[in-house]
Structure 1
Amino acid sequence: MKPYLAILIDSFWETVGNKVLWALLLGWSLLLLGLAPFGFISERNFLLSSADITDRGRLVESLAKATQGKGSLAVQAVASHLDEKFRQRLAQTLAGQDSQGQRRITARDLALALNGAIEADELYSDSAFPSAKRRQQTLLPLIEMPRQSMSADELQELNRHLLQLAFPLELRPSRGEQLWIGYAGFKIGEPLSFTRKQIKQFYEPVLLGMIIKLGLGVLAVFVAIVVTSPIIPDTFRSGSLHLLLSKPISRMWLYLFKFLGGCFFVCVNISFVLLGLFVIAGLRFEIWNTGLLACIPLLMFVFLIFYSISALVGLLWGNAIVSVVACLVFWLFCFALGFLHDALLPQVEVWPQIRRIRSIAGELLTVNEKGEFNVWNERFSIWQPALEAEGRRQARTYGPLYLAPQQTIVSKSFHRGSFGRLETSDRKLALIPLGKTREGDSAEPQQLADESPQTVAEARITPVWMSDVGPDLPQQLFNIVEFDDSLLAICRGGLYLLNSDKLELVQATQQGLWGLQLPWLSPSAFENIAPP
């Protein structure tokens, strides 16, 4: 056994003596030293940033009207503490003069202007904010506190909560703490738009996953392959082989111990990098994620797979360059196979899965994981599209819901954009009346075509019904539920109940007068029933 241990130790020192590997180790050390000064800078702060503006257009419109004495008293009170130049810009925007050389009011401009109101001494009044004293835990102690004894932070806290009462939908709720990414104690950019809890839940897995997959899973493993690729070809060259085989030993065991010797130092290298990242993430960002340490054996397993290809090719061809090229081709093949798997898996397996199912008026309705609204076709035994699809992207579909008095099915789909944001061309509900058809002589849901599909292929792409245009949904919607023979929209700004009496009026305004739509006459069918 001693000859094999000597071979193992010799291969380790051969790798240690490689200048490229030491250059790599030095590079990782410099990278870790460069990352060490990064960290979070936290301050108790109630001022606004551009990330706190959730609806810029609506906020500009409300403030512009408030400068002319319109709107709620709370909004007028906030507008009265804005800078005079900014008030003029709002007036020009309301008059439609912002396109004539006037710069567009951005979210950053709004945040800076509203920060002046947050720092104002006399923003609160009983008439402007009548519901403020009912907030006994947040606002009442601050309101009853004498102004002379209030600190600057307490004044900002009071005014920030008052701004939230004035603009519940246009501003994010106050966190009382602002986070910055800092470097050596200096703040970088604007405050972050998320909290420490959100970092722990959402951003930490994504960022660490990208670092492991791209930084270590690709770059570090590939460089390790380049460094260790000459070990097997150099071992089995004629001169080296005769020297090693001066004593009778097995070529197979020689190959395996040389292979393990190359893996040993790569394990030391990967462990050094991941331990450094673990310590930096814990000390500087308070992210003590033991998954980083669990990645050491995982990355070693990935390296073993690629190094086995490199060692085998080096044994057959005796060339380190050919070994590296073979590993690169193998990696490209695996990447293409994985990309194809990730691209097809949602469409073939995940999206067709049923998410919700219910029966309405004798029809079996479902919504799948893609957000498609389907109806069971008994003739062909397939799920047929219920409505004409607005697009082919993944969507979030609310419904199907049922208004029993009107005998109407209700639904609405929002497509998922970048970073999971919900997008749509309009916020109008889709209404499927069950009491009439296109000809108006049947009690079944209105069919899109005069003839039903004749083949399975036609049924898969032909929608069952046409829909009428319904009322606009409230902003910042969480969910829609059936409530007391009506619909209840749950939003961040309150609870909105559908007024069934206004439903036909809304549909009439959508059809317009002599073919012309009159949007300014369209009433809101959803009424806020939440207490102030």
Structure 2
Amino acid sequence: MRPYWAIITDSFHAALSSRILWVAFVAIWLFLLALAPIGYHEDYTTTFRWFDLDNGTQMKAMLARGLIDPKEADTALGRIARVFPARVERQLRQVAKGEDVRIDKSALADALNEALDDESWYDAEAWRSTVRLRELRALDEIETGMLTEPERRRRARLRIEAALPGVFSVQSARSVMLSYAGFEFPAFFAIGKTQFIALVNQFVVPVIMDWLLGFALIFLGILVTASIIPDMLQPGSLHLLLSKPVSRTLLLLAKFVGGCTFVFLCVCQLVIGLYLIAGLRLDIWNTRILWCIPVAVFLFAVFFSVSMLAGLRWRSPTLSIGVTCMFGALVLVIGFVGGYFDGLVQRPDQIARLAIDGEDVVVACRGGGLKFFNRDTNQWDELIETDFRRRDLIVPPVRLTDSMFVSAQIRNGRFNLYGSGSLDALVLRQQDQYEPRPGMRLPNGTRRIYVWHDSILALNNAGIMAAPIETLVNSVADEPDDAQDNEEQDEQAHGKDGQTAEASDTELTANVATIGATAWISDLLRMQGGATEGFEDVLPEGLTLTDPVRLTLAPGVDSIIVYSRGRLLRLQDDASDSDTGRFLIAADRVLEDNDAAATVIAASGTTLLVSRQEERIRWIDARDLTTIVEFDIPDGDRLLAIEPIGQTEQFALLTTDGRVWIVGREGDAIRSAALSFSEVTAIEFSEDENQLVIAHHIDRLDFLGFEGATASEVVRTIRPTLTGWRNVDRWVITPLRTLTPQTGELSETVAALVSGKQSLTMGGNNDDDPDVVRLRILRPVFSCGIFTVVMLAISCVYFNRRDF
């Protein structure tokens, strides 16, 4: 071993003599010194920003109603509506008259920020009827003189949010504020410390890996080490080395290890320096950051294996660098094209939700499309085109009656739940080959539709509205021309964006003289998500829902169960008050707020499962909402969906890592079993067929049969025939990515190693269908490892067979 160790040392000394190496060392030290003064502190989240206004349409409608509705004059809404400057107030009054007015969100946020300093708008009696979170109730109990200025501003913000429920996106109570050398940055993160740490581990570190370690440092490493092999092949050097008792293969591998050792020292300086800065300055003591060291050296080895083969072939450092750079460019282009196909070809077709009726399947896709599986052609027929460029949102389809489904399309709803234009229910009937036919108008902002007895329930930010199924079915146009005529008439009556069309000043004056502002107020209520014609609000009087809101049907206890920001409610039909049709609160329980964590709920029989982010799953008695037992998510980072297995008090759990688990309870013990599926995107249980339908690998389906409460076997599969760009992806892009090392995906390996998670979720707590990024952990390691071994084997064979 001594001769080989001498060769490794010699290679290392040769690298140390490079001026480029010392320039890299100095650059690393200067970078770390420049980064060292960074710091942070936490403070209350007080300031409003324009992107905090989650539902601009709803906010305009609420404020306009607060200005013109006499009943709102002394309420919290009416008082907040009067804090805006005269220009904004004029625009709000135009909105009240049905005009299509675009109000700058920044202007609304600025006016609210000014209101934080002057709380003359506040009246304790007016706010008594609002939904006040526990944090606000606690602050209200403290005298103003005893509050610090940040606490007082925080209280003012919470009061404004209570007056405008459902308008603002959910934010952490405390926000991280970064500083540099004692000077605060002008912007701050509206996230708490836990979210900030996750952001650093899951995004910042992989970006550093991609650019600082994966690009700059690797490129410098190739510049420094490119001369190792050509220098070794010089006649005097090579003859001296081969005169020693060493094999050519081990000689070449020793040179390879020597080059990697140099990069190892460079990476150690940078990564250990970043680790100490993160710990000392940001209180992020995450030893998993040190995994960047072996991954970075491994990444360098991939490129160095190419450089070494080029050096053997042409004996020129310049050509070695040039060939390696061309190889890097090729890998980069293939990786970019592969990522393009992942995001713009595969992901839009990925099944997000599905509805089953016997052998008929209707699915909603990530790309905003709606599809029906055609058994004759073995393909998915597009009912609503899937297009990644559109910002439309599909309300998950549900089975309405036999051979009939219902869904809806929210135009521009991907980033604005209220979207633009009217929201019509889309009824899909077998007799129409499931072509969507518009039916009655849904309440604005409807995010989910449920079938409950002989009614449909529409859930949105404003509450829960119900309409008879028969009314919806009867509202469907039988002919497309009729539907188009109805739409044109509707646009004339309500305007292109679903609001009342602009009327002339004479007509407005006449309306005011006859009915005053009553018609305007009704339109504003519908605009902000209130019940439309045919629908009735079924929430109990005085109950307001606060995001995140989740709803599940519990036929086992003849109730619907609602989760509203830490509050669980069991609602039953109010048989004693048939005139209003409203539900009664049969059970009520308050959970810890937990900064409005992302939540998933489902009911089966007399039990309820509640899963909130960063918490254990609660197994709850659905009758009185008491917790029976708590248990951990089985081998997953977070739950995406919980599907009841009929009324057997068993559940199917879909985790973010794409696996499905069946869980049940025996006393206080939870039994769980994993199903043999991967890359799962959606699950749905069909009670009629007693089957669990599992969507996986973009658009494949498996129907898993159950015998009682026990999973038996797959009774049916759907493997659609690929067409168009999906064929190009399978037969061209996938082979190219398989044959080339996926160096860019090593950043996903780093993200998994540093964060300790196998998947990332994108989207706020309000979103009940977040985007999931499943990290490729082993694939890039195998790809790069196999490529490096092949290149080293070729180099060794070439070196052994050539007479140098």
TM-score normalised by the shorter chain: which range applies? Answer: 0.7 to 0.9
CA contact (8 A) 1:377 1:384 kept: yes
1:302-313 alignment to 2 at 5 Å?
Answer: 302-313=299-310
Identify unmatched segments of 5+ residues in structure 2. 96-101, 478-482, 495-499, 501-518, 545-804
CA-to-partner distance for each residue in 1:334-391, whole Å, 9 max, x for gaps? Answer: 2233333334456776665655444338743334565543323343343323x24263
One-letter identity of the residue aligned with 2:50 = S
1:124-523 alignment to 2 at 5 Å?
Answer: 124-132=122-130, 135=132, 137-146=134-143, 152-173=149-170, 175-201=172-198, 204-244=201-241, 249-345=246-342, 354-360=351-357, 363-368=360-365, 370=367, 372-385=369-382, 387-389=383-385, 391=387, 397-404=394-401, 409-413=405-409, 426=421, 428-432=423-427, 434=429, 444-447=430-433, 464-468=434-438, 470-475=440-445, 479-491=448-460, 493-500=461-468, 511=486, 517-519=492-494, 520=500
1:233, 1:114 → 2: CA distance? 68
For residue 18 of structure 1, what is the aligned residue in structure 2? 18
User: Which one scores higher on RCO, CA 8 angstroms, separation ≥ 6?
Assistant: 2
CA-to-partner distance for each residue in 1:133-172, whole Å, 9 max, x for gaps? Answer: x748444454455555555455434432221121112223
1:112, 1:392 → 2: CA distance? 34
CA-to-partner distance for each residue in 1:101-145, whole Å, 9 max, x for gaps? Answer: xxx86434333322333333554435422324x748444454455
1:125, 1:306 → 2: CA distance? 68
Q: Secondary structure at the match of 2:206?
A: helix
For residue 108 of structure 2, what is the aligned residue in structure 1? 110
One-letter identity of the residue aligned with 1:221 = I
1:185, 1:239 → 2: CA distance? 59
For residue 77 of structure 2, what is the aligned residue in structure 1? 75
Cα separation, partners in 2 of 1:489 and 1:95, compared to 1, 3 Å: closer
CA contact (8 A) 1:398 1:413 kept: yes
2:62, 2:418 → 1: CA distance? 23
For residue 6 of structure 2, what is the aligned residue in structure 1? 6
CA contact (8 A) 2:132 2:162 kept: no
CA contact (8 A) 2:368 2:393 kept: yes
2:164, 2:283 → 1: CA distance? 34
Whichever structure has more strand as a proportion of its residues is 2
CA contact (8 A) 2:398 2:405 kept: yes
2:250, 2:295 → 1: CA distance? 25
CA-to-partner distance for each residue in 1:293-345, whole Å, 9 max, x for gaps? Answer: 11221221221121121112112211001001111122222223333333445
Aligned length: 492
Larger Rg: 1
1:253, 1:158 → 2: CA distance? 71
CA-to-partner distance for each residue in 1:449-505, whole Å, 9 max, x for gaps? Answer: xxxxxxxxxxxxxxx514215424443x654433343333444x4532233498678
One-letter identity of the residue aligned with 1:517 = Q
One-letter identity of the residue aligned with 1:432 = V
For residue 610 of structure 2, what is the aligned residue in structure 1? none
For residue 450 of structure 1, what is the aligned residue in structure 2? none
2:218, 2:24 → 1: CA distance? 12
CA contact (8 A) 1:396 1:414 kept: yes
Q: Secondary structure at the match of 1:15?
A: helix
Cα separation, partners in 2 of 1:505 and 1:272, compared to 1, 3 Å: same
2:288, 2:411 → 1: CA distance? 34
CA contact (8 A) 2:400 2:406 kept: yes
1:400, 1:54 → 2: CA distance? 24
2:253, 2:413 → 1: CA distance? 51
Q: Secondary structure at the match of 1:517?
A: helix
For residue 694 of structure 2, what is the aligned residue in structure 1? none
CA-CA distance at 1:87 after TM superposition: 2.6
1:141, 1:305 → 2: CA distance? 58
1:303, 1:273 → 2: CA distance? 15
Cα separation, partners in 2 of 1:343 and 1:416, compared to 1, 3 Å: farther
1:105, 1:513 → 2: CA distance? 27
One-letter identity of the residue aligned with 1:471 = R
One-letter identity of the residue aligned with 1:112 = D
CA-to-partner distance for each residue in 1:198-227, whole Å, 9 max, x for gaps? Answer: 334456412221211222112211210111
Q: Secondary structure at the match of 1:169?
A: coil
Per the normalisation by structure 2, the TM-score is: 0.54
Q: Secondary structure at the match of 1:481?
A: strand
Q: Secondary structure at the match of 1:131?
A: coil
Cα separation, partners in 2 of 1:512 and 1:94, compared to 1, 3 Å: same
CA-CA distance at 1:197 after TM superposition: 3.2
2:112, 2:162 → 1: CA distance? 14
CA-CA distance at 1:396 after TM superposition: 5.5
CA-CA distance at 1:270 after TM superposition: 1.1
CA contact (8 A) 1:46 1:157 kept: yes
Cα separation, partners in 2 of 1:253 and 1:358, compared to 1, 3 Å: closer
CA-CA distance at 1:229 after TM superposition: 0.4
Cα separation, partners in 2 of 1:414 and 1:323, compared to 1, 3 Å: farther
Percent of aligned pairs with the same amino acid: 28
Q: Secondary structure at the match of 1:192?
A: coil
2:288, 2:350 → 1: CA distance? 31
Q: Secondary structure at the match of 2:432?
A: coil
1:8, 1:309 → 2: CA distance? 19
CA contact (8 A) 1:509 1:518 kept: no
CA contact (8 A) 1:408 1:431 kept: no
2:168, 2:69 → 1: CA distance? 21
Whichever structure has more helix as a proportion of its residues is 1
CA contact (8 A) 2:356 2:399 kept: no
2:208, 2:418 → 1: CA distance? 30
CA contact (8 A) 1:41 1:187 kept: no
CA contact (8 A) 2:355 2:399 kept: no
1:383, 1:513 → 2: CA distance? 31
2:240, 2:280 → 1: CA distance? 51
CA-to-partner distance for each residue in 1:3-25, whole Å, 9 max, x for gaps? Answer: 43333222211111211101001
CA contact (8 A) 1:65 1:71 kept: no
One-letter identity of the residue aligned with 2:79 = A
